[in-house]
Chain A
Amino acid sequence: MLNCRDVTHLLSEGQDRRLSLAERVMLRAHLLVCRGCANFSRQMSFLRAASRRYGAGFGSDDELGR
């Protein structure tokens, strides 16, 4: 079984490569029962969204980029 520390590595790698089916199944099972890791997962998505917006030039301006 995966522990939370392993899950954080898989969640990060999931941003950079396609996870295997086995990895995805184990990950999903863990996220269903672990609120901390579910939050971590959403935080990774948030970092991606924030970075994309920043990279597009909308990181200083709350008026633009909506």
Chain B
Amino acid sequence: MSDAAGPFGPDAQFLVEIRRDMLRFANLQLRDDHLAEDVVQEAIAAALGAQQGFAGRSALKTWVFTILRNKIVDAIRQRSRTVGLGDAAPEDEDLDQAFDVLFKANGHWRPDERPADWGDPEATLHQKQFWAVFEACLEHLPASTARVFMMREFLELDTGEICRELRISASNCHVILHRARNGLRRCLERSWFAAGAASC
């Protein structure tokens, strides 16, 4: 595509869409409307200030989101000095119980709970409706669990840094990530892969 002429080109509509996606992305991680608004504003200002040329919308979006991720990391670092992660919530215990019942006493899968074959990942990732389910499943996770997952997977921080920022042990970090991944996996399996969405 060649319709993004300058940094943000003449395409105001595209800027509106990007801003909406950025806000949703920031808010999911910060769970704070004002802070999310601030980091998005800063990221857009920084992107505009760079006056860099872009080959197209895709390159532009990648660039703006790279800046946004860095701004979110900064915001989390500042906030984590005042707010720790807190203890496991009752919802975390529910997730752990839901995980335990997937297995027989000997630790092997119950036949009806065995993870399914999700087919072609690329095909799924190109379906717009999939992302709405993905977001809903993320929002369904306990807040602190989702936070660790998103720091690891969206912001690509390593577990050492996550431990330091949130003042948790490495083993606790692994427990939380396992809980998050399994919760997300179960939610996607039920809400997307088993729901027959792949057939449309």
Contacts and interface: CB of A to CB of B under 8 A. Distances in A.
A17 B58 contact: no
A43 B182 CA distance: 10
A42 B118 contact: yes
A40 to B, nearest CB: 4
Contacts of A53: 125
A13 B179 CA distance: 11
A9 B126 contact: no
Instruction: Give the interface size bracket for B toward A.
Output: 35 or more
B79 interface: no
A26 to B, nearest CB: 14
B115 interface: yes
Nearest to B111: A36
Contact of B114 (A9, A39, A50): A39
A57 B25 contact: yes
Q: Which of B61, B125, B156, B158 has the most CB of A within 10 A?
A: B125
Contacts of B184: 47
B61 A50 contact: no
Contacts of B185: 40, 43-44, 47
Nearest to B106: A3
Interface of B: 18, 21-22, 24-25, 57-58, 61-62, 64-66, 68-69, 103, 106-109, 114-118, 121, 124-128, 131, 134-135, 152-156, 158-159, 173-174, 177-178, 181-182, 184-185, 189
